C-alpha cells in the first residue's frame, strides 16, 4: 500500500465541490478535517495559508498539494478535494487547479512528511492517472485509484 492510501479514508475524498477560490477550498478542507478528525477548522485553514505564503503548493497540470503541520496531531492525515470548476492557484504553469490533495502532519514529522509528499508528487506526475483522478465521477472510484496505485520505488 502506498503512503497516501495508508492515511486516506474513503470519507476524506470529495468530488464536484463548489469553491470559487483558494480561500473557499481551504475552508472546505478545514470543515472536512473538523468533521472527520475533530481538528478545529481554523487550525487547518491557518496552517494551510501559512504554508501557502511561503510559495504556492500548486504543481501544474491542474493539481496542488496544500499541506501543513498541526500541533498536537499524532499521525498524518490526508484528504482529496476535486472542484467542479478550476480555481486560480499561482501554479508554476499558471493553469487553474481542480484537484487538491491535502496533507496534514504532526508538527515534528519532517522525514515522514517529505516521504508522503514525494509519493503524492510521484502519483500526480502520472499523466494518465492524474487525468482519471480529475474525471472519475464518484469519490469511491477516486479513492480506489489512489488505493491501487503503486510507487515506482518502494522504500523499506
Region label for 60, one of left (φ > 0), alpha (ψ between -120 and 50) or beta (otherwise): left
Q: Are 48 and 42 in contact (CB under 8 A)?
A: no
Mean pLDDT split into 10-residue runs, the chain, 156 residues: 94 96 97 96 96 95 95 94 96 96 90 90 94 95 96 65
Place of cell 511561503: 54
pLDDT tens for 103-130 read 999 988 778 888 999 999 999 999 999 9
Cβ neighbors of 23 (< 8 A, separation 6 or more) are none
* pTM exceeds 0.85: yes
**Residues with catalytic function:** 67
Amino acid at each position: 500500500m502506498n503512503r497516501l492510501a495508508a492515511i486516506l479514508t474513503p470519507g476524506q475524498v470529495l468530488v464536484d465541490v463548489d469553491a470559487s477560490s483558494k480561500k473557499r477550498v481551504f475552508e472546505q478542507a478545514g470543515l472536512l478535517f473538523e468533521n472527520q478528525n475533530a481538528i478545529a477548522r481554523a487550525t487547518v485553514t491557518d496552517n494551510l495559508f501559512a504554508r501557502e505564503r511561503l510559495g504556492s503548493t500548486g504543481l501544474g497540470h491542474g493539481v496542488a498539494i496544500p499541506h501543513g503541520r498541526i500541533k498536537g496531531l499524532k499521525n498524518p492525515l490526508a484528504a482529496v478535494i476535486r472542484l467542479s470548476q478550476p480555481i486560480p492557484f499561482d501554479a508554476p504553469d499558471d493553469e487553474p487547479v481542480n484537484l487538491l490533495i491535502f496533507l496534514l502532519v504532526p508538527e515534528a514529522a519532517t522525514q515522514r512528511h517529505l516521504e508522503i509528499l514525494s509519493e503524492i508528487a510521484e502519483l500526480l506526475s502520472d499523466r494518465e492517472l492524474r487525468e482519471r483522478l480529475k474525471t472519475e465521477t464518484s469519490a469511491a472510484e477516486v479513492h480506489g485509484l489512489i488505493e491501487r496505485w503503486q510507487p515506482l520505488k518502494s522504500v523499506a
